Amino acid sequence: MLPDEPAIDREFDYLVPSGMEDLALGDVVRVGLHGRRVGGWVVEDDVAPAPGLALSPVAKRSGVGPSGDLIDLAGWAAWRWAGRRASLLRTATPPHVVPSLPAAPTRATPVPAVRDEQVEQAFSHPVSVLRLPPTADRFPVALAAVARGQALLLVPSVGQARSLAVRLRRSGVEVAVHPRDWAGGAAGQTIVGARAAAWARAAELAAVVVFDEHDEVWQEERTPTWHAREVAIERARRAGVPCVLVSPIPSLEALDVGTLVAPSRRVERAGWPLLDVIDRRGDDPVKGGLWSERLVPVLRGEGRVVCVLNRKGRARLLACVRCGELARCEACGASMEQVEAGVLRCRACGTERPQVCQACGGLAQKNLRVGVTRAREELEALVGEPVVEVTGAAEGPIAEARVYVGTEAVLHQIPVADRVVFLDLDQELLAPRYRAAEQALSLLTRAARVVGRRGEGGRVVVQTRLPDHPVVQAVLRADPTLHERSERARRQELRQPPFTAMAEVSGAAAPELVQRLGTPPGVEVLGPSDGRWLLRAGDHRTLCDALAAVPRPQGRVRVAVDPLRV
């Protein structure tokens, strides 16, 4: 039995009492451990205990849990992402008690046949990358997977899972939406769900599909930082079934493990919207502000407009009008932002002070980096009508309006628009992260789905001083390979994933862990920087073996394998 205790990563032997002979591998149980009752999982049966060892009986069987193949998969994932098996098995366990599994499903009507050469080709490989333009209908891929038998269909959000389940049910498919219908999936129904569904129990998988495999949502933020795409690929490999990774902009990681299946140039161009590029290289960076003259007609025109600015607050960077001195914190030297009229706050340490220039005492300050709240105020004055602000913190229904402005959350909250405007795309392209270009392209892809395909009247508009950037050109020409080639060459030169494996170590006990790690062969230790170390190796086997060999110290330590934002 493996206890559901993060601090204990070892197995214990227990006796199966009379009346509990039906206890099976993966069942959730309650046992006595060190004087208290804890939960856990049966991870092995028919175990021969050590001679002379008196075993305590299992106190209670709570219900069905992960299957044996998922227990084995959790062991692999614990090594791959330097974590505990208990954390992974918890994800694989139903959120409610399932005493027993229901009967296997019976298909009510035949699944409609899919006659698509590309889709058929994708399922002919062990792992394939199916590149579909952002506005293409992906439902035929789901139908093709279901036609093979029980399928595991992973989509980025719970809302998308519900929508896909509705379409499948209308086609006569019995669907289990994870985690609500956990038992139905375990009995054999087609499983549809978001990230956690990668660990859903299945009866006999016939196909695995990951939609929008490029999306960052597939990686767990908590440790272990497992990635649903990698779990899906490994799970399909062990089951001997095809795994299809679907994306309009496939990640380098996916392209390195799967066979690319792409549409013709005509089909791909038709599936991307028109892109209008406002080149701001000739604009004054200080006097020009956020609203270029060429953007004003777009904002004042007809139709729904969604503006994207990934900066919260009112003013993120200010300078004195009189002397040009930047507003900086006297305590730590970091830049200060305006949180309300006349008040500045340090973004690093939280120090507040009146909005007065420390150099000359001037009261008037120029806003060099507008936040989304201030952008809404300026936009309302510009278009002469109410503008709705949308951020990830927004609660309740979004008010109706013609013009919206917000962080990238607005692209998820407003599903349809005539124009999507990126007010400062360079902020995304030049972000201090190695995946900045990939993340910027992902935002543009999401915007493409909001405005619709070419010929439907919608447009994506970007303001940039980098019109020749591969990301901009990839969307402008509806050709993701332009970004892929550039990004591949850059990451290979800089020794970044997927050409290396990386892990970030942080926390109070991080120095002790790094000291215990030492300098194992093939592992490079970089840092510390802001209390964090970066470990880099030529491949994951070298990195993960090194981490697995180091005993964890007492105290808080976070090991994030494959960190997204470094």
pLDDT on residue 35:
86
Q: Do residues 228 and 200 touch, judged by C-beta distance below 8 A?
A: no
Average pLDDT of 428-453? 95
DSSP structural state of residue 103: P
Closest to 336 (Cα-Cα) out of 349, 326, 345: 345
- 150 vs 143: CA distance, rounded Å: 11
Closest to 131 (Cα-Cα) out of 233, 231, 213, 208: 213
Q: Which of 87-101, 303-317, 419-433, 511-525 has the lowest mean pLDDT?
A: 303-317
Q: Which residue has the higher pLDDT, 492 or 371?
A: 492
Reduce the DSSP state of residue 39 to 3 states and report it: strand
Residue 160: pLDDT band (50, 70, 90) is: very high
pLDDT on residue 51:
84
Query: Residue 316 is inside which H or E element, if any?
Result: strand 315-320
Q: Which two tokens stand for residue 455?
A: 């010929």
- 483 vs 189: CA distance, rounded Å: 39
Query: Residue 460 is inside which H or E element, if any?
Result: strand 459-464
Start-end of H helices in 385-480? 410-413, 425-429, 436-451, 470-476
Cα 196 to Cα 226, 463, 465, distances in angstroms: 10, 37, 40
Q: Which residue has the higher pLDDT, 449 or 393?
A: 449
Residue 376: pLDDT band (50, 70, 90) is: very high
Preceding peptide of 528 cis, ω within 30° = yes
Mean pLDDT of all residues in the chain? Answer: 93
pLDDT on residue 286:
62
pTM of the model: 0.91
Preceding peptide of 179 cis, ω within 30° = yes
Q: Do residues 125 and 438 touch, judged by C-beta distance below 8 A?
A: no
Helix (DSSP H) and strand (DSSP E) numbers for the chain: 18, 26
Residue 441: pLDDT band (50, 70, 90) is: very high
pLDDT on residue 315:
62
Share of the chain above pLDDT 90, in %: 78
Residue 385: pLDDT band (50, 70, 90) is: very high
Give the residue range(s) of CATH 3.40.50.300 domains in the chain: 117-263, 272-313+371-491
Give the residue range(s) of CATH 3.40.1440.60 domains in the chain: 2-92
- 285 vs 288: CA distance, rounded Å: 6
Residue 559: pLDDT band (50, 70, 90) is: very high
pLDDT in tens, 480-524: 999 999 999 999 999 999 999 999 999 999 999 999 999 999 999
Closest to 48 (Cα-Cα) out of 15, 74, 78, 20: 15
DSSP for 240-307 reads T--EEEEESS--HHHHHHSEEE---HHHHHHTS-EEEEEE-TTS-TTTS-S--TTTHHHHHSSS-EEE
Left (φ > 0), alpha (ψ -120 to 50) or beta: where does 562 sit? left
Q: Which residue has the higher pLDDT, 456 or 159?
A: 159
Average pLDDT of 208-230? 97
Residue 324: pLDDT band (50, 70, 90) is: confident
- 507 vs 502: CA distance, rounded Å: 17
Specify the CATH number for 272-313+371-491; select among 3.40.50.300, 3.20.20.70, 3.40.1390.10, 3.20.20.120.
3.40.50.300
2-92 maps to CATH 3.40.1440.60: yes
Q: Which two tokens stand for residue 419?
A: 């124009």
The CATH code for residues 117-263 is 3.40.50.300
Q: Do residues 363 and 356 touch, judged by C-beta distance below 8 A?
A: yes
Left (φ > 0), alpha (ψ -120 to 50) or beta: where does 99 sit? alpha
Residue 346: pLDDT band (50, 70, 90) is: confident
Residue 285: pLDDT band (50, 70, 90) is: low
Q: Which of 61-70, 270-279, 389-398, 457-466 has the lowest mean pLDDT?
A: 389-398
Average pLDDT of 182-198? 97
pLDDT in tens, 463-484: 999 999 999 999 999 999 999 9
Q: Do residues 213 and 219 touch, judged by C-beta distance below 8 A?
A: no
The answer on pLDDT for 424 being more than 80 is yes
pLDDT on residue 316:
64
Average pLDDT of 400-408? 96
For the beta carbon of residue 10, count every other beta carbon within 10 angstroms: 8
Average pLDDT of 9-27? 92
Closest to 314 (Cα-Cα) out of 285, 288, 336: 336
DSSP for 486-554 reads HHHHHHHHHT-TTSSEEEEEESTTHHHHHHHH---TTEEEEEEETTEEEEEESSHHHHHHHHHTSPPPS
Q: Which CATH class is domain 501-561?
A: alpha beta
Average pLDDT of 25-33? 95
Residue 52: pLDDT band (50, 70, 90) is: confident
pLDDT on residue 490:
96
Strands of 323-434 (E only): list them: 336-340, 343-346, 352-354, 365-370, 387-390, 403-406, 419-422
Q: Do residues 483 and 249 touch, judged by C-beta distance below 8 A?
A: yes
Q: Find residue 31's DSSP bridge partners.
A: 38
Residue 108: pLDDT band (50, 70, 90) is: low
pLDDT on residue 349:
83
Q: Which of 11-25, 155-169, 262-276 has the lowest mean pLDDT?
A: 11-25
